[in-house]
Structure 1
């Protein structure tokens, strides 16, 4: 009897952990559900934690119904991304950026699937590239979306050597 309770408590803790600090900008319903919330597409804004003045907008499917309402549904491995300069670009941490670094990691199923955003630096073209994809512990998805932010002339990215 103790084992199922312990397992359920562990799942609840895992579901609560690992949430990224995104701000929902809006959503549209795609499928009506008699019980629980409708299936929808949500649009969320994520500010790059190491590059001030860059915001990434991610749209993705969110499963509704009873499972979705309880946070037990597994969302589809599909997302779209658009990152834009939304202010003066600076590097407030004062630390050099990695050539490639994960900037967002959000759980999109109870335990196994995650939505990821990776920032890559294209120093030659003075741009930041952002790639979004999802993965699972066993099998990921090749579906991905890519966007780039061209940096203003004269902006030098502090790149880790």
Structure 2
């Protein structure tokens, strides 16, 4: 019963996460059958912080498995978040470790996610990207920070 409730709550929360727009990609490995392996650059806006856009680059596996959506993508990713307008948010709505973006990177058990932290002492938003699995995750990660400054 608890599992079903958790699954339902998770599905209801999905629309609250940001969706990514593909900016571009480059092929890294030629595949005879199916799409090539590539590095994809995606952009997404923080759904709770107006004026912030994040750019994520990640590996996407090609071939037959990649074309069918059953390949497991690598855990490496790079992240750069930038202020693109006046930063506006309600501090009461932000919780440390909130998931801002989530992307499935294998058929079932692996996800790449971006989480947000608010460094109140330094007046800075900090974003972290990492990959996890049901059983074990990856220590590979990337971090970026945006000082909260007036927009000119």
Q: TM-score, normalised by structure 1?
A: 0.79
1:48 to 33, 46, 49: 46
Taking a change above 3 Å as real, the CA distance of residues 80 and 56 of structure 1, as seen in their structure-2 partners, is same
Q: Which residue is equivalent to 1:68?
A: 66
In the other structure, the counterpart of 1:129 is 126
Gaps of 5+ in 1: 1-16, 155-161
Q: TM-score normalised to the size of structure 2?
A: 0.84
CA RMSD of aligned residues (A): 2.2
Distance 2:25 2:108 in 1: 24
- Structure 2 counterpart of 1:90: 88
**Which residue does 1:138 correspond to in 2?**
135
Give aligned pairs, total. 138
Shift of 1:95: 5.0
Pairs within 5 Å for 1:140-159: 140-152=137-149
Q: Which has the larger radius of gyration?
A: 1
Distance, in Å, in 2 between the alignment partners of 1:31 and 1:138 is 29
**Maintained 8 Å contact 1:20/1:106:** no
